[in-house]
Chain A
Amino acid sequence: MVEESQPLGGKIVTKPFLVLAALAAVGVVLMLYRYLYGLGAVTNLSDGYPWGIWITYDVLVGTALGCGGYAMALLVYIFNRWEYHPLVRSAVLTSVFGYTLAGVAIFLDIGRYWNGYHLFLPWYVNFNSVLVEVALCIAAYVGILWLELAPTVLEGHQDNPKAQRARQRLERWLPVIVALGILLPTMHQSSLGTLMIIAGYKLSPLWQTPLLPLLFLISAITMGFAITVFESILSSLAFKRPFETPMIAKVGGVMVWLIGVYLVIRLADLLLRGAPVFSSGFLSSMFILENLLYVVPLVLLASPAYRANLRSLFVASSSLLLAGSLYRFNAFLVGYSAGPGWTYFPALPEILITLSIVALELMGYLYFVKRYPVLPKAEHV
C-alpha cells in the first residue's frame, strides 16, 4: 500500500499559537522560580505527598496520552493491520511530545535534580527500585520515539541529499526501533502501576490490587487509541481536512473490546477482594464517576452504526481519555492517604506549570504538522 503524507503548510504563528505561547511563557517563569527558590516555593508538596500533580498529570496521564504511538504500533506491526498505517505518524508525534515533556517534568519534580544524571551511571543505580525501571524505560523510550519520528522530519527536507541518505539508513533499522518502541512502553506502563502496589495500605482498597500493573497497561493502551481518534477528529476539524471516519470508526471497535476486557478484570477483582465500593464516601463517588466514564464509550460505540457517527466517536474518545486520567489521579492522589494530618491539593503555580507543559506540547504539535509530512495527504471526497 502506497500512502503519502504531506505537510499542512500555512503560517506557524497564528492566534491560538500566540495564546499557547503566552501560557507557556507564564509556566517558564514559574519554572525558573522553582529552580531559584525550590519546590516549597511553588508547590504544595510535602514529605507525606512527595508526588503531586506533576507526577500524576505530566508523567502518568501525559505518558498514557502519549501511548498513541505505542497503541497504533501494536495494532499495525504486531497485529499486522496495515490499513491503520496512515494514523501512525500523527500518533507517534503526539507520543513524542507526551513523553518528552513527561521526562522534562520529572526534572521539575525531583528535589535534587542536579543528581539526576546518576540514573545513567550504573554504580549509582539501585536495581531493586521499581522507579528505576520506569525511569530507565521512559528515558530510553523518549529516544526511541524521536528515532521513530526522525524519518518524517528527514522526509521534510526533500532537497537535502544528506537528510535523504540518513533517512534510508534509518529505515533499515526501523524494525528494531519499532520493536523497542513496543517493548519499552509495555514495561514501564505496567511498572507505573507497580509503583502504587508498594504503597500498600496507604492506597484505598478501591484501587489497591496486585493487578494494578495489568490495569495500568490496558488502560494506557485504550487511552492510546482514544487519543488517536480524538486527535484525528480535532485536527480534521481545525485544519478543515476531510474526516478519517471509516478508519477511526474501526479503531473505535478495537477500543470497545479493550474497555470490555478492562472493566471485566477491574470489577471481578473488586468483587473477589470484596472492596467497599459504595461505603467509602467521597472515594466511592470518585470511583463510580471514573467507571461511568469508562461505560460511556462502551455504550456509545457498542454498535457499528454508532461507531460511524463522528459525534459519538468524539464524545466516546473524550470520555475514555477522562476515564483513564481519572483512574490515574484516583490511584495516585485521590485514593492515596499519607496518614492522619497530611493533605495535598496542587498549588496554583503547580497547575500553571502543568498547563504550560500542555501548551508546549500543543505548540510542538502545530509546528510539526505544518512543517513536516505528518498527516496523510488529503484526498477529496
Chain B
Amino acid sequence: MPKCKNSQTLPSHFGLVSRRDFLKFCGVAAAAMGLPLSMGAKIAEAVAALKRPPVIWLSGQECTGCTETLLRSTHPTVESLILDLISLDYHEALSTPSGHLAEEAKKKAIAANKGKFILVVEGAIPMKDNGIYCQIGGRTMLDILKETAPLAMGIVAIGSCASWGGIPSSGPNPTGAVGAAEALGGKFKVINIPGCPPNPYNFLSTVLYILTFKKLPDLDNQGRPRFAYRRLIHEGCERRPHFDAGRFALEYDDEGHRRGWCLYKLGCKGPETYNNCPAILFGNVGARSWPVGTGCPCFGCSEKGVGFTAPIAAQASLVHFSTTGTPFKGEERVGGGRLCLTPPQTFPPIHPPEGHGPSAATVGVLSGLTGVALGAGAITATKLGKKETESDDKAGKE
C-alpha cells in the first residue's frame, strides 16, 4: 500500500469511495505502467489534489464496449471512482441529460476548460461522403472531432476503432471508417489504446500518467503507450513453453486443446499482436482470465492489419531474424534482442552422452605417429651430427 501523507482524507467529491480503495486503485494503476509502487502515492496525490480533470468523451462508430469494459471489469468500486475521479462532462451513454441539454453541457464544459480537458475518442470516424454516415445532434462526427481536438490538452483514442478503424474499417469498409489520428490528418498527437475492448487499466494508467507527470507516456511508432504495448502477446503467453516444445492443439477439444497446449495452429495471432493481456489479464478474477488462457486463440484485436482483417483460423506469420541479423526498421528493441519465434526442430536429450574414451584404432594410430615422429627426429639429429663432423673436417683441411 503506497504511503500518501497528503491524502489522509479524501476530498468530498470522492463521495462513497473509501480512502483504502482509492489508494489501492492508484497502486494497481502504477503497477500496470511498470512504475514503482511509490509512484502510486504520487498518483494518488496528483489525483486527489486536482479539481477533477474534465473529460469529454466523443463516440463515433462504436458499440460502447470500451465504455462497458471501463465500467465493469475492475475493482468493485471503480465505476464510482472513475465517475468521481474525472469529471466526465460529456459522454453520450453515461451523461444524465440527453438531447439538447447534453449538447449544451458539452459546449459549456469545453468553453470553461479550454486547453485543460482530456478528449477521449471512442469508435471509428467515417470519412466517405464528408462523414455523413455518423451524425450526432445533426453534425457529423468528423466535424465534431475536428472542432474539439484543437481545444483539448490531450487526445486519447480508446479501442481499436478509434485507434485505426477497427471493425467498421474492415473490408469492404462501406463508410470509409478511419481512426482518430488519421481523421485529424495526423496534425495532433493521439494516444492510441487499441483493443476490442482494451484493458481498462491501460486506459486508466495512461490518463493518470498524464495527470501525474503532465506529459505523455512513452509511445511507440503507432502511438501506443510502450508500458502496455511493448511486447508481443507471444512473449508473455503462459502457453509459450508448449510452442517452444512443439506441442500444439490441432483442433478445438482435441487432447492438446484440453491439456492447454499452444493455440498457434488454431490461428492464434499472439505472435503478431503487441499487447499486455497475458500480464495483466481481464476482470480481476485471477489466473487465465484472458482469451488464450481460456482456450480461445488470440485474434489480434489490438493489432492493425491482423484483427478484423486476417481470417480467424489463419496461422500467424512468425517474426524471424533478417538474413544479416540487422534489426528491422522502426524496431522497438535493438541490439539483436528481438525474439526468434521459430520453434527449434530438435531438442537436447535429457541424459547427454558423457563422452568417449580412446578407441583401439585411435591409440594404434597415435602411437604409430609418435613412433614415426620420434624416429624421424632421431635420424635427423644423427644426420646433423654427421654433417657437423664433415664440415669440421672440411674446415680442418682448409
Residues of A near any B CB (own CB < 8 A): 44-49, 118, 121, 123-124, 233-234, 237, 243, 309-311, 314-315, 318, 338, 341-348, 351, 355, 381
Tell me the smallest distance from the CB of B398 to a CB of chain A, in Å: 10
Q: Which residues of B contact A124 (CB under 8 A)?
A: 325, 336
Could you tell me if B365 and A348 are in contact, using CB atoms closer than 8 angstroms? Answer: yes
> Quick check: is B383 within 8 A (CB to CB) of the other chain?
yes
| Residues A311 and B385 in contact in the complex (CB < 8 Å), given A124-B336, A234-B380, A347-B359 | yes
**26 contacts across the A-B interface (CB closer than 8 A):** A44-B355, A44-B356, A46-B352, A46-B354, A48-B354, A123-B325, A123-B326, A237-B384, A310-B384, A310-B385, A310-B387, A314-B380, A314-B381, A314-B384, A315-B377, A342-B354, A343-B354, A343-B356, A345-B356, A345-B358, A346-B362, A347-B356, A347-B362, A348-B359, A348-B362, A355-B369
CA distance A237 to B366 in the complex (A): 26
B278 smallest CB distance to A (angstroms): 28
Interface centre among B326, B384, B385 (most CB of A within 10 A): B384
Instruction: Tell whether, in the assembled complex, residue B356 and residue A123 are in contact, meaning their CB atoms are under 8 Å apart.
Output: no
Minimum C-beta distance from A307 to chain B (A) = 13
B159 CB to nearest A CB, Å:
37
Q: What are the 5 tightest A-B residue pairs by CB atom distance, in nearest-first order?
A: A345-B358, A46-B355, A44-B356, A343-B355, A310-B384
Give the docked Cα–Cα distance between A316 and B141 (Å): 95
Tell me the complex Cα distance, A314–B365, Å.
26
| Distance, CA A39 to CA B218, complexed state (A) | 48
Q: Which of A45, A48, A315, A348 contacts B381 (CB 8 A)?
A: A315
Query: Does any Cβ of A come within 8 Å of B172's Cβ?
Result: no
Q: Which one of A234, A309, A311, A344 contacts B355 once the chains associate, using CB atoms below 8 Å? A: A344
Whether a CB of chain A sits under 8 angstroms from the CB of B335 is yes
Once the chains are docked, how many angstroms separate the CA of A124 from the CA of B359? 40
Contact A49 B388 (CB under 8 A): no
CA gap between A49 and B380 in the complex, in Å: 37
Q: Find chain A residues with CB under 8 A from B355 CB.
A: 44-46, 48-49, 338, 342-344
Q: Is B186 an interface residue (CB 8 A)?
A: no
Let me know if B362 and A318 touch, CB within 8 A. Answer: no
Kindly list chain A residues whose C-beta atoms are within 8 Å of the C-beta of B324.
121
Beyond the given A46-B354, A46-B355, A311-B384, could you list 13 further A-B residue pairs with CB under 8 A, ordered by the A residue number?
A48-B355, A118-B325, A121-B326, A123-B326, A123-B335, A237-B383, A310-B387, A311-B388, A314-B380, A314-B381, A346-B358, A351-B362, A351-B365
Chain B contacts for A344, CB-based, 8 A: 355-356
The reply to whether the CB of B137 lies closer than 8 angstroms to some CB of chain A is: no
Give CA–CA (A310, B390) in the complex, Å: 12
A48 to B352, CA, bound (A): 9
Contact B381 A123 (CB under 8 A): no
Known interface pairs A48-B355, A49-B355; A311-B362 also in contact (CB < 8 Å): no
Please tell me if B256 contacts chain A, counting CB pairs below 8 Å: no
Whole-angstrom distance between the Cβ of A197 and the nearest chain B Cβ = 23
Q: Would you give the shortest CB distance from A208 to chain B, in whole angstroms?
A: 21
Complexed CA–CA distance, A195 and B73 (Å):
57
Check if B327 is an interface residue, CB within 8 A of chain A.
Answer: yes
Within 8 A of A (CB), among B377-398: 377, 380-381, 383-385, 387-388, 391
Interface residues of B in 232-281 (CB under 8 A from A): none
Q: Is B357 an interface residue (CB 8 A)?
A: yes
Question: Is B353's CB within 8 Å of the partner chain A?
Answer: yes
Q: Which of B324, B352, B356 gathers most chain A CB within 10 Å?
A: B356
CB of B334 within 8 Å of the partner chain: yes
The docked-state distance in angstroms from the alpha carbon of A233 to that of B385 is 12
- Choose from A118, A123, A341, A343 the contact partner of B357 (Cβ within 8 Å): A343
| Chain A residues within 8 Å of B369, by CB | 355
CA distance A45 to B369 in the complex (A): 22
How far is it, in angstroms, between the C-alpha of A237 and the C-alpha of B376 when the chains are bound?
Answer: 13
Binary per-residue interface labels of chain B (334-365) against chain A in the complex, 1 for a CB within 8 Å, 0 otherwise: 11100000000000000011111111011001
Cβ of B358: which chain A residues have Cβ within 8 Å of it?
Answer: 345-346
B378 to nearest A CB, angstroms?
A: 9
A46-B353, A343-B355, A345-B356 known; A318 and B388 CB under 8 Å? no
Q: In the complex, which of the residues B325, B381, B391 contacts A121, with contact meaning CB atoms closer than 8 Å? A: B325
Residue of A nearest to B366 (CB): A351
State A47–B275 Cα separation when bound (angstroms). Answer: 38
State the Cβ distance, A344 to closest chain B Cβ, in Å. Answer: 5
Q: Which residues of A contact B325 (CB under 8 A)?
A: 118, 121, 123-124
* Bound Cα distance A381, B392 (Å): 13
**The one of B326, B354, B359, B380 that contacts A237, using a Cβ cutoff of 8 Å:** B380
Task: Evaluate whether A345 and B362 lie within 8 angstroms (CB atoms) in the complex, with A44-B355, A46-B354 already known.
Answer: yes
How long is the Cα–Cα vector from A381 to B383 in the complex, in angstroms? 19
A230 to chain B, nearest CB (A): 10
Q: Measured between C-beta atoms, what is the minimum distance from B359 to chain A in Å? A: 7
Closest to A52 in B: B355
A107–B324 alpha-carbon span in the complex (Å): 19
Contacts of A341 in B (CB 8 A): 354
On chain A, the residues within 8 Å of B387 by CB distance are 237, 243, 310
Docked complex Cα distance between A346 and B357 (Å): 8
Complex CA gap A196/B117 in Å reads 65
Q: In the bound complex, what is the Cα–Cα distance between A299 and B381 (angstroms)? A: 17
Assess whether A123 is in contact with B384, with CB atoms less than 8 Å apart. no
Q: How far is the CA of A310 from the CA of B369 in the complex (A)?
A: 25
Q: Which of B309-342 contact A (CB under 8 A)?
A: 324-327, 334-336
Contacts of B381 in A (CB 8 A): 311, 314-315
Chain B contacts of A338 at CB under 8 A?
355
B residues within 8 A CB of A342?
Answer: 354-355
